[in-house]
Amino acid sequence: MLYLAEVQKKTRVIGSGKTELKLLACQRTEQSWSALPGEEVIPAPDDANYNAGVLVMVELTATKQIQRHTEAGRQLVSILQNFSRLQEKAKTQEEEIEQWKQSLTYQSQELNRREMEMEARQEQLQQMEEDFERLEQQRHEVETTREEVQRQREEFERKSQELEGAWAHLRGEMSRFEERQAEMTQSAVLDEQQSYYIQELLNRLSSAVAPTESVREELNQSFDVLSYQQGSLESYYQELEQQRTSAQQLQDEVDRQANDLHHRWQEWHTSQAHLEQLRADLASQKSTLTLKQQQESSIKGQLESQNILYQHLKAASGDLTADPKLAELETIPLEELKSITQDLERELEKMSRFVNSQEEELSLQQQAIDQLKERIQQASEYDRLQLETELADEQESYKMLNETLVGQRRNLQDRGATLKQHQIILARRQGIATPDSSNSSIDLGPAISQLESIKQQQEAELQALQTEIQQLTGQVEQAQQAVEQQAVDQENQRNELKQLEQQLVSQRAAAAELWGKVNTYQAILQPTQDGVTNLRQKLESITQVMAQFQEASDYQLQAIAEMRQVIANLMGNQSPEYATS
């Protein structure tokens, strides 16, 4: 099982001390770690040459035997990077879940609204069906009236033909009557048989007169039905005009909203372009901040190196035995001093190899950062965002590894200085001349003073750089907040515009449905109106014909009455002889 441990050393006056590992956390799963309660310490293996306070990864068996151990710097960087990515992924998923919730809420509301619209449309369709049924019933009544009028017209034509035949017969009889009247004028008398025959003809003419009252009554009823249907059509035409007005108003509103939505989308795209520019400026500020931080780390490293050099120069210019720990080296056995010096040399060599490998990895990461920067300059707008994210990850990894190396470099320099002091004392006790001992009479005061001046200058530069970094960090945080707020506003506006688009689609569908209803009403009412108008024209024509026919009937009855009077006069002028015979 894998554990995270801290190196602890129990220092001794002589020697490097005993190394132990304090277990801090245990890996449960690939992405899960849990802290260990209490303080559990296990002895470090012989090959564990780590400085005190260094974090290491230790793989233990069930009996807490060490199988493998490595420096935890790189692995912690990887774990922290993965944790950061998981946090960003979780945050993204939470945002997506919130968006899904909002989308589901909106869809539920939209479904309820469409359900209500469907119910309203069903009621409208039911009302239209009832209107169609009434129109169909009225059309059927019109057809029935038309058939009745047609029947009456045929009856009228038949009566007219009979009347024409009767008139033709009457004209023939009148001709014969006139001939006989001429003859009777000579004789001025009619016999009884002739009188009876003429009376019979007149009776036939009287019975041949067609009755017009029933036809006129049917015509009046037909006009009443047409008036009722025309009134119904007028009410439907009023409703049609209302529907047309509503449809036009809704269409104007839809056009206005579409134009307004188009302008708002243009404003959104302009704001989105401004947001992308802010993001690009923010990425540039972050890059500048990263470079400043790297410069700060470099200056800190130089100051640490100068501090070590300063300590070495101070030690070289004075008495090495001024340090109590170094004074003890003058009294211990020479072989023990030699052994301690050799141990320090081996530890320094191992640590130097490890630091060099970390430096190489840091150099490779710097090369990767430089390559990403070159790719960003040549990439498109879409690829640039992804590359900038990768660049931020690489820069964060570089920063963490560099901060880890700061302490390791310091430890390496401290160990080098300690080894050098041991070597000087060992050489002096062995009677071997060293460059340091031979040049001990050299005055290092000017070099120390110059080094102090350089240190003060670099510390001033570091302080100014830290102030600039602090200001730039505040600017980056403000810009980050502004970008995030504007991104939220843009997303809210986009969702609002999407909702307005869906509402506009629904309103367009409602307008199209209303126009369809208007066109349907128009298609139904216009033929019905044309049929009623044609039927009224035919009824008016029949009424005119009936008036002519009534006038002819009245003239016929008058002529028959006059003929009856003439016959009566003739019958009154008969001679007594003819009358008795």
Measured CA to CA, the distance from residue 441 to residue 316 in angstroms comes to: 10
pLDDT above 90: residue 70: no
Q: Which of 29-43, 236-250, 365-379 has the lowest mean pLDDT?
A: 29-43
Ramachandran region, residue 182 (left: φ > 0; alpha: ψ -120 to 50; beta: rest): alpha
What the block records as the tokens of 58 is 């230790």
Strands (E), 455-515: none
Q: Whose CA is closest to 437, among 446, 452, 422, 427?
A: 427
Q: Which residues pair with 58 in a beta bridge?
A: 3, 69
- CA dist 447 and 436 (Å) reads 15
User: Distance between CA 561 and CA 559 in Å, rounded?
Assistant: 5
- Each residue's pLDDT tens digit, 105-123: 877 887 888 888 888 878 8
| Residues in Cβ contact with 54 at an 8 Å cutoff, skipping those fewer than 6 apart | 6, 7, 71, 72
The neighbouring-strand residues paired with 21 are 7, 42
Q: What's the distance, CA 576 to chain centroid?
A: 122
Task: State the Cα–Cα distance between residues 42 and 20, nearest whole angstrom.
Answer: 6
Please tell me the predicted confidence (pLDDT) of residue 266: 92
- DSSP annotation of 212: -
Question: Is residue 581 scored above 60 in pLDDT?
Answer: no
| Residues 86/31, Cβ–Cβ less than 8 Å | yes
Decide if 222 contacts 145 (C-beta within 8 A). Answer: yes
Instruction: Find out whether 344 and 422 touch, Cβ atoms under 8 Å.
Output: yes
What average pLDDT does this structure show over 425-443? 63
More confident position, 141 or 269: 269
Angstrom distance (rounded) from CA 71 to CA 21: 12
The contacts of residue 9 (CB under 8 Å, 6+ apart) are 16, 17, 18, 19, 20, 51, 52
Give the integer Cα–Cα distance in Å for 545 and 533.
18
CB-CB contact of 399 with 318 (8 Å): no
Ordered alpha helix ranges (H), 318-333: 324-329
What does DSSP assign to residue 158? H
51 pLDDT more than 70? yes
Cα–Cα distance, 296 to 531 (Å, whole number):
97
Q: How far apart are the first and last CA of the chain?
A: 162
pLDDT for the residue 268: 92
pLDDT in tens, 181-225: 666 555 545 566 666 767 777 676 666 555 567 667 777 877 887
Distance CA 395, CA 367 (A): 11
Rounded to the nearest 10 degrees, what angle do helices 73-187 and 445-572 cross at?
Answer: 10
pLDDT average, residue stretch 519-528: 79
Q: Please enumerate in sequence order all residues whose Cβ is within 8 A of that of 463, keeping only pairs 6 or more positions apart, or say none.
A: none
Instruction: Check pLDDT > 80 for residue 32.
Output: no
Question: What pLDDT score was predicted for residue 177?
Answer: 64
Q: Could you give the 3-state DSSP secondary structure of residue 116?
A: helix
In percent, the amount of the chain with pLDDT more than 90 equals 4
How far is Cα 364 from Cα 354, in angstroms, rounded to an integer? 15
Res 484 pLDDT > 80: yes
H helix or E strand, kind and range, residue 36? strand 32-43
Judge whether residue 439 has pLDDT over 50: no
Q: Please answer whether residues 329 and 422 qualify as being in contact, where contact means their C-beta atoms are separated by less than 8 angstroms.
A: yes
From residue 347, how far is each of 144, 311, 352 by CA, in Å? 120, 21, 8
Between 503 and 213, name the one with better pLDDT.
Answer: 503
The CB density around residue 229, as the number of other CB atoms within 10 Å, is 22
